[in-house]
Structure 1
Amino acid sequence: MRIIRYVNEQSLPQLAAVNEEDSVFPLQQTDFIALVDQAKAEGQSILALVQSLTSTSSAISAKLTELNLLVPIEAPEVWAAGVTYERSREARNFEATGGRMDASTFYDKVYDAERPEIFFKSTAARTVGPGDYVMLRSDSEWQVPEPELGLVLDSQGHILGYTIGNDMSCRDIEGENPLYLPQAKMWKRSCSIGPAILLAEAVADPYQFQITSTIYRDGEKVAEGTASTGQLKRKFEELTSFLVRDNELFAGTVLLTGTCIVPPNDFTLADGDQIVMEISNIGILINPVRSAS
């Protein structure tokens, strides 16, 4: 069972549940956390509550593909983990050493260290949803999308569901100096999430998600890659345990878990590109690219 938000006939945000047949059932709750809170108050799981609500209601006539989707949750904060895949470590080493693949860097150390790399990525105001554009940073010449599985968390760090996240990144800025990481990762419209939240209770094995990323330019495919969350070096609970450590977490926080799909080293995004990310059972997140105005 997935949870989405879309613009309804009254031009207002509408929370809804989507079943395996892609039928859309409007919900009365105002947002995903309100749904979570109701399930907790009634002493049942989120999945059980949603199944109960949809069993006594009717699906809308519009198809899922016809809806104007919004971010499935207005996450108060988006955090991200880095160097959680072997491919990510290789890419970071390439950036930091100017292309010397045989050189060892601090990225090798964090890949094997007990403490993972976790950084602050975005806020609700900087995060866009399905169909909305992501923006290129004006002072970077080497920018890429990073498709990642996102964990939707409660205030205790428990995983409520899964979504797709695009961690836009400036490889040249990060490669120039690791202290520039915040500038390489955070600017307006540098993060997108969506199109849905797949409830955690509906997932048998979260390490079997298949991830695909494709970039189009002028209608032509210019980069693509595939991966699986089974390639992760770290477990999700390991990442969340460090995020909540001596930290105040807000319900609905999203933690992006790192990428295993990095475009070729000679590739950079351009104005007008289209980024298409898909994770099995969650959906497809599409975002056009625009240059900074």
Structure 2
Amino acid sequence: MEIVRYVEQGAAEPRVGVRRDGKIAPVRFGSVAELLREPLDALRAGLEPAGSEVDADSVTYLPPVDGRTEVWASGVTYERSREGRVEESVQASVYELVYDAPRPELFLKAVAWRVVTDGEPVGVRADSEVDVPEPELAVVANSRGEIVGYTVCNDMSSRSIEGVNPLYIPQAKIFNGSCSLATGIRPAWEVDTADLAITMKIVRDDAVVFEGETSTARLHRTLEELVEVLYAPSDFPDGAILTTGTGIVPELSFSLTEGDRVDIEIAQVGTLSNPVVRGREPLSWLVDAIERPAARRKGQL
């Protein structure tokens, strides 16, 4: 079962539903944000069908985040991520220290309207030379900080900008098309996160130019710890999505190119595929999609 956000053909307003066996049944929640205001038990009860089913292939999928829900990210939570950051940075010791520090690295990744989903393009900055995708398990937490589900995230990153100075992380991490989430949220009670296989491949001109794999078993911190630190100083009235860092980092000599396709799969959780575009303009439709969700169709494959 997956929680999805979607627009039916001819409709103007998004709906929230449950996808299973090729069908989607709407639920009583009008938005994902409303769903994430509920305690875990009430949320589970609220996923019962509340309307007629439609074919899962007949709708336009929206990212499973809306309203005031924020997407945050964790950094340097895998040993491979630490190695990659040390390799790229002129201040390598910063990343060596944060890997073992009591406090994890957390940063804001995206507000809801800037998030893209499966089939829509991810972006690289026009002023960046080295850009990579970062496949990550994303934790979905409700307003109380309870983990209620999981999804797949592509945390796009400019290695060349971050490598100059760690204080440039917001510029390296936040831009049009920098955050993609899979269309579905798998409920937490259906997923065992102890050892989830995470794979990624990058396709260029119909050939695989990079592929890698890791597992959540290699995470240096627990999912509960990351969520606890995120929620300790702040309220999230519509919940939050927290990506948990990457264990797959290409060599520094590799960079994404416009026209590439990034394919990510996380066992038990889902898949995510995005073409790559360069610069701000190819994703300008995101602004139109704030008020007109159907505008997203022109951004999809």
Superposition TM-score tier, normalisation by shorter sequence: 0.7 to 0.9
Partner of residue 181, structure 1:
169
1:250 Cα shift?
Answer: 3.5
After TM superposition, the structure 1 = structure 2 runs for residues 3-82 of structure 1, keeping only pairs within 5 Å, are 3-12=3-12, 13-19=14-20, 21-37=21-37, 40=39, 44-50=41-47, 53-54=48-49, 59-60=53-54, 62=55, 64-65=56-57, 67-74=59-66, 76-82=69-75
1:125 Cα shift?
Answer: 2.6
Partner of residue 101, structure 1:
none
Q: Match of 1:132, SS?
A: coil
Kindly provide the amino acid, as one letter, of the partner of residue 78 in structure 2: Y
Partner of residue 226, structure 2:
239
2:145–2:228 contact (8 Å) kept in structure 1: yes
Kindly provide the amino acid, as one letter, of the partner of residue 188 in structure 2: A
Deviation sequence 1:263-290 (CA, Å, 0-9, x none): 2321111111111111122221111111
Alpha-carbon distance between aligned partners in 2 of 1:44 and 1:91, rounded to the nearest angstrom: 40
TM-score computed with the length of structure 1 as normaliser: 0.87
Of 74-83 and 268-277, the range deviating more from structure 2: 74-83
Deviation sequence 1:223-265 (CA, Å, 0-9, x none): 1111111110000111111111222223231111000011232
Alpha-carbon distance between aligned partners in 1 of 2:222 and 2:214, rounded to the nearest angstrom: 16
Q: Match of 2:120, SS?
A: coil
Give ranges in structure 2 of 5+ residues lacking alignment: 282-301
Partner of residue 277, structure 2:
290
Alpha-carbon distance between aligned partners in 1 of 2:258 and 2:185, rounded to the nearest angstrom: 29
Kindly provide the amino acid, as one letter, of the partner of residue 179 in structure 1: L
Q: Percent identity?
A: 42
Alpha-carbon distance between aligned partners in 2 of 1:83 and 1:66, rounded to the nearest angstrom: 39
Alpha-carbon distance between aligned partners in 2 of 1:194 and 1:232, rounded to the nearest angstrom: 21
1:151 Cα shift?
Answer: 1.0
Deviation sequence 1:57-76 (CA, Å, 0-9, x none): 6642x2x3554321012263
2:156–2:179 contact (8 Å) kept in structure 1: yes
Partner of residue 260, structure 1:
247
Q: How many residues were matched structurally? A: 278
TM-score computed with the length of structure 2 as normaliser: 0.85
1:44 Cα shift?
Answer: 3.8
Alpha-carbon distance between aligned partners in 2 of 1:163 and 1:123, rounded to the nearest angstrom: 16
1:97 Cα shift?
Answer: 4.5
1:22 Cα shift?
Answer: 4.2
After TM superposition, the structure 1 = structure 2 runs for residues 220-235 of structure 1, keeping only pairs within 5 Å, are 220-235=207-222
Deviation sequence 1:138-186 (CA, Å, 0-9, x none): 1110000101111111223221111111111010111111111111111
Give ranges in structure 1 of 5+ residues lacking alignment: 99-103
Q: Match of 2:61, SS?
A: coil
Partner of residue 266, structure 2:
279
Partner of residue 143, structure 1:
131
Does residue 165 (structure 1) correspond to residue 157 (structure 2)? The answer is no
Alpha-carbon distance between aligned partners in 1 of 2:85 and 2:58, rounded to the nearest angstrom: 39
Distance 1:215-1:11 versus aligned 2 partners, 3 A rule: farther
Alpha-carbon distance between aligned partners in 2 of 1:46 and 1:247, rounded to the nearest angstrom: 22
Distance 1:72-1:35 versus aligned 2 partners, 3 A rule: same
Give RMSD over aligned pairs.
2.1
Alpha-carbon distance between aligned partners in 2 of 1:86 and 1:4, rounded to the nearest angstrom: 33
1:131 Cα shift?
Answer: 1.4
Distance 1:23-1:282 versus aligned 2 partners, 3 A rule: farther
1:210 Cα shift?
Answer: 1.7
Partner of residue 293, structure 2:
none
